[in-house]
Amino acid sequence: MADDLLGRTVSRPGSQRGGLIMEWKPIAHIHSPFPEKFGVPRQSGLIDSLRAWVVFEPECRVREAFRGLEEFSHLWLIWLFSQVPEGKWSPTVRPPRLGGNRRVGVFASRSPFRPNPIGLSCVALEKVELEGPDGPRLLVCGADLVDGTPILDVKPYLPQADCHPEASGGFTDRNPWTALKVDFPPALEKAIPPELLEALRQVLAADPRPHYHSDPKRVYGMGFGGIQVRFTVEDSVLHVVSVEARKDP
């Protein structure tokens, strides 16, 4: 059974020994500004001004299940890479941080092309909203998920156990990201809803392009919160060239 964004059971084969089958049923879905993968931050927490809603399935909208959650500042979201074709995984991958030209083992990366396409994101919890037709639901910041991504579980982040300042980051320590300068003409900024502008600026500064792209004449397009933004990049400066309402099918 393929990944299902409608909240039905998602089945994938487990161990071949004994024909084990694991049943995964999404408990929620994310509502984020990203209609597609391009532009999504490469890791959670990089863009702290990004807001998204975690909206739960009806059977999980039980107030008692959220009791005490508001005491935590951060959460772990466990989710499915629902846009990866079933069975499509590779033992080696090309991480964007290495420019797409060096391979490492899939278990030394956070590539979506994994034996089990499970994602893990740490997000800040801004609000537990108990009321309303979709309540209880969660407002989170810093999520790196495409709109509609199925959530398998939500767990509290525990700083005394989950935070390791002495940890090493492998090849990522040797290849840090460098923020771009964003040239956003004021006339085009006015077309962006005010509540989305700062997050969009941060997303653009994080360089949405694949790291192996360097053509200064190439025009990229990115969907964000119902807007289509087009831009070029030259000499570490991102130039926004157009902004218009997005026409999704």
Each as own residue / partner, the long-range contacts of residues 56-64 (CB below 8 Å, 24 or more positions apart, any chain) are 56/27, 56/28, 56/134, 56/136, 56/137, 57/7, 57/26, 57/27, 57/28, 60/27, 60/28, 61/134, 61/135, 61/136, 62/136, 63/130, 63/136
Domains of the chain: 10-162 (2.40.30.70), 178-245 (3.30.2310.20)
Cα(54)–Cα(147) distance, integer angstroms: 10
Write out pLDDT tens, residues 7-58. 334 444 444 445 566 777 899 999 999 999 999 998 898 899 999 999 999 9
Percent of the chain whose pLDDT exceeds 70: 89
Write out pLDDT tens, residues 77-124. 999 998 888 777 889 988 776 766 788 999 988 888 888 889 999 999
CA distances for 96 relative to 91, 159, 209, angstroms: 16, 28, 9
pLDDT of residue 249: 59
Distance of CA 20 to the CA centre of its chain: 30
Cα(233)–Cα(213) distance, integer angstroms: 10
Angle at alpha carbon of residue 121, lines to 159 and 161, rounded to 5°: 20
Cα(247)–Cα(249) distance, integer angstroms: 7
**6 pLDDT above the threshold of 70:** no
- Which two tokens mark 177? 């990201």
pLDDT of residue 64: 96
**215 pLDDT above the threshold of 70:** yes
In single-letter form, the type of residue at position 153 comes to D
Each as own residue / partner, the long-range contacts of residues 88-93 (CB below 8 Å, 24 or more positions apart, any chain) are 88/113, 89/113, 89/114, 89/115, 89/117
CB 79 within 8 A of CB 121: yes
- N-terminal to C-terminal alpha carbon distance within the chain: 25
Cα(203)–Cα(197) distance, integer angstroms: 10
97 DSSP assignment: G
166 DSSP assignment: T
Cα(25)–Cα(3) distance, integer angstroms: 10
Tally Cβ neighbours within 10 Å of residue 174: 9
